[in-house]
Amino acid sequence: MVRDNPILEVKNLKKYFATPKGMLHAVDDVSFTIDQGKTLGIVGESGCGKSTTGRAILRLIEPTSGEIFFDQQNIRRLNKRDLRIIRQKMQIIFQDPFSSLDPRQSIFATIEEPLKLHKNDMTKNQRRERVHELMDLVGLAARLEKAYPHELDGGRRQRVGIARALASDPEFILCDEPVSALDVSIQAQILNLLSKLQEQLGLTYIFVTHNLSVVNHFSDDILVMYLGRQFEKAPAEELFSNPMHPYTEALLSAIPVPDIHHVMNRIILKGEITSPINPKSICRFANRCQYAFDRCRNEEPKLSEITPKHFVACFRCEGKSY
């Protein structure tokens, strides 16, 4: 195992979509690294580019520019064949277990498919054994192998999605809102399963979610995105105890806390997210920010390291730089 090098490195990733109204900046200059066996949480609200970032890394969406290194291989330079090989190592779990499984394939066939695709030296019997192993690993009873997705509840369907992702022995899994469609009691089951698998198999995760309490529980580092930009990046504990960007501050204060003794200190943001189409080069949060001053409306702050490992893109923090 290589420990010194990060397993995944993303440099200046951009994804723009051409729309009739102009260029939509979905992901605008995002860079980060993840060490093996760690979890990076990407948080933000609808339209901040968190899912697009994840998908661009897997080249499920072709990035506009930027570099992605996985195990020191530049993913963007790979041809189709090599990409298919490396995708064995990079898998994805989708948000909606109701629409990400083929309704006409049994659970067995669903989990077997990636084995047929990626492990063509396996015999039929070996595949059967491996499917059962995987089902056991994610906590699916063997009797369910003949069932179809519609016969399963959301939690079990998500387990099928996880088993399928694990089939090709990945090193990295992109979890795109994996528990958002599930009830809290089931959500906890799936989160615990994902941490168990990470420990057992040494997996590296990117955890894309809008749910801040989930991301806090689950991540080593957290990246906060807003309108395609990275606003703040820090180790989870640091980010939650010492949020520096006004947006992060508002986002954290907006979480309803299930404790009646919790003293609410809520920052209610004015207005709504501005359009991501042809954004001006000013702070993208300036119109909602309670601290915004002239400079914020004239130039765009860059992400800079304010304290060790804590990066913020905000003019207010610049003076605090160490």
Partner 1 sequence: MNNELNNILDVKQKQQNIIEVKDLCVEYITMEGVIKAVNTLNIALGYGKTLGLVGETGAGKTTTGLSILRLVQDPQGKIRSGSIFFEGQDLLKLSEKEMEEYRGSQISMIFQDPMTSLNPVMSVEEQIAEVIERHQGLNNENSIERAKNMLDLVGIPSERGREYPHQFSGGMKQRVVIAIALACNPQLLIADEPTTALDVTIQAQVLEMIRVLREKYGTSMIMITHDLGIVAEVCDEVSVVYAGHVIEHGTLEDVFDHDLHPYTQGLFESLPNMKDRKIKLKPIPGLMPDPTNLPLGCPFSPRCNYVMDLCMEKKPERVFRNENHYVECHLYKSDTPVESKVRING
User: Which residues sit at the interface with partner 1, rule CB under 8 A?
Assistant: 45-46, 153-155, 183-189, 191-192, 210, 212-214, 216-218, 236-237, 240, 250-251, 253-260, 262, 264, 266, 268-269, 272-273
| Least CB distance to partner 1 at residue 52 (A) | 16
Pairing of strands 204-209, 39-43: parallel
| Least CB distance to partner 1 at residue 206 (A) | 18
User: Between residues 137 and 186, which has the closer beta carbon with respect to partner 1?
Assistant: 186
Report how far Cα 238 is from the mean position of its chain's Cα atoms. Answer: 19
| Least CB distance to partner 1 at residue 139 (A) | 11
| Least CB distance to partner 1 at residue 182 (A) | 9
User: Between residues 58 and 215, which has the closer beta carbon with respect to partner 1?
Assistant: 215
User: Between residues 69 and 240, which has the closer beta carbon with respect to partner 1?
Assistant: 240
User: Between residues 91 and 248, which has the closer beta carbon with respect to partner 1?
Assistant: 248
User: Between residues 115 and 222, which has the closer beta carbon with respect to partner 1?
Assistant: 222
User: Between residues 125 and 185, which has the closer beta carbon with respect to partner 1?
Assistant: 185
| Least CB distance to partner 1 at residue 195 (A) | 8
| Least CB distance to partner 1 at residue 36 (A) | 21
